Amino acid sequence: MTTKSIGISADADEAGAAAGTGQHPSSREVSRRLLLGGAAAATVAGVGAAALPAAATSTTPAHRHPRPRHAPLWRVAAERGITFGSSTATWQVSDAEYAALFDREAGILFTEDDLLWYQLKPTPDAPLNFSLADTLFARARQQHQLMFAAHLVWDEGFGDGWPEDYLWELDKPDAEELLYGTAKAMVRRYRGRTAGWIVANEVTSPIGDDADELGFRTNVPWYATIGQEYVGRMFRLARRYDPHATLVLNEFGFETTNEYGDDPAARQEGILSVIDTLQRQHVPLDAVGVQAHLVASYWDSFDPKQYRRFLRQIAKRGLKILVTELDVLDDGLPADVRARDAAVGDIYADYLRVTLAEPAVKSVMAFGLSDRYTWLQEDFPREDGAARRPLAFDEDLHAKPAYRALRHALAHAPHRKPLWHAPRERRR
């Protein structure tokens, strides 16, 4: 295959929105489960990307939605040297009510799905379409927010336009051309405008469990076609074309056991082994992202002391730590809203008390701010039919106990040297 045959123009990174007008699909036209090609089958706690709405947008007038009367979360966090923000997508912030909440509370914007391949390159032959990501970057600039971009390499997020076996059947030169050509275009386009890149997402696993002897996942097409080297090479590409961005290895499953029997200690050991390997190879890795998709029904298996040791081990390797996708799957909790919200808030408090005690933790990003837009309702609806309530604000954008726990944890975290300063900090 040539670059033309796989849809990457030699100057794709300069083409921008002209690469395709790409009418954004309605959020209800596409199932996230189909878009991500079975990511849900891997593990509830391990999905790191696009969300679809749980319910219709509230029609209550915006002025009837009380906002917290205190300083916004981003400012509370910044006082302690922490950057607070959330994921979002263009289709979410087209909701004016939600956009106002997001603009108030978030100092950093995580690109939830506008840089995933089902949007960026929906078929193998499609030219790169940056129109949606451009819109999000422009919006963040207008709001004086930082950008956190994802993902340069992941084995999901392709959508129905990619045949199931397409990536697995590529030979090495074609796989390299496709993967690195796309990533190069992404990084060059947004260089200097991105605080951090998730360079590699979900590329590790417990040693001996879908992973090689060093902890690199083997059950992904890029490992099969390019080899273990694909991870280190992607970090080097990102450093070359965006030298000042924070480069992140992002992963899930470090907090508790889950319904699949995953052992958090084994997952921790796996990523530490990968980190050690990358550092021996002088790969420019700056930070580890812990997704923190927390699971209520297994929360009694959370070991605060052991988790703190894990964070400390990352810090001892000279790396920063970012919480990237914080939410709570509320299985095992009662349907009663008041009781469930209180329990979810307690989990936020427990987790953040331990996590923010580590000064290497520089950022907390939620995977959405409001239950109005949570991927958990779309992918994992409760068996009792009750709507999921995993986030700080409810569907009507009212603050919940999770908000209060989050705010308290940020306000009382030990002060640390910040990794980033949001542009809005200079405007106070």
**pLDDT tens, 148-203?**
999 999 999 999 999 999 999 999 999 999 999 999 999 999 999 999 999 999 99
Residue 67 — pLDDT band, cuts 50, 70, 90?
A: low
Reply yes or no on whether the pLDDT at 66 is more than 90: no
Residue 376 — pLDDT band, cuts 50, 70, 90?
A: very high
Non-local CB neighbours of 316 within 8 Å, separated by 6+ positions: none
pTM over 0.95: no
Q: Tell me if 356 sits within 8 A of 414, measured CB to CB.
A: yes
pLDDT score, position 204: 98
Residues forming beta bridges with residue 83, ordered by sequence position: 363
| Average pLDDT for the chain | 87
Residue 351 — pLDDT band, cuts 50, 70, 90?
A: very high
Average pLDDT over residues 231-259: 97
Residue 63 — pLDDT band, cuts 50, 70, 90?
A: very low
Q: Which of 19-23, 42-46, 102-106, 423-427 has the highest mean pLDDT?
A: 102-106
pLDDT score, position 258: 82
If one compares 316 and 25, the residue with the highest pLDDT of the two is 316
pLDDT digits 0-9 by tens, 325-346 = 999 999 999 999 999 999 999 9
Residue 50 — pLDDT band, cuts 50, 70, 90?
A: very low
∠ CA 230-232-235, nearest 5°, is: 110
pLDDT score, position 57: 35
Reply yes or no on whether the pLDDT at 262 is more than 50: yes
CA atoms within 13 A on the CB side of 409: 26
Q: Tell me if 50 sits within 8 A of 32, measured CB to CB.
A: yes
Range 52-76 burial, b when 16+ CB lie within 10 A, else e:
bbbeebbeeeeeeeeebeeebbbbb
If one compares 269 and 42, the residue with the highest pLDDT of the two is 269
Residue 41 — pLDDT band, cuts 50, 70, 90?
A: very low
pLDDT score, position 21: 37
Q: Encoding tokens for residue 344? A: 């979810």
pLDDT score, position 263: 92
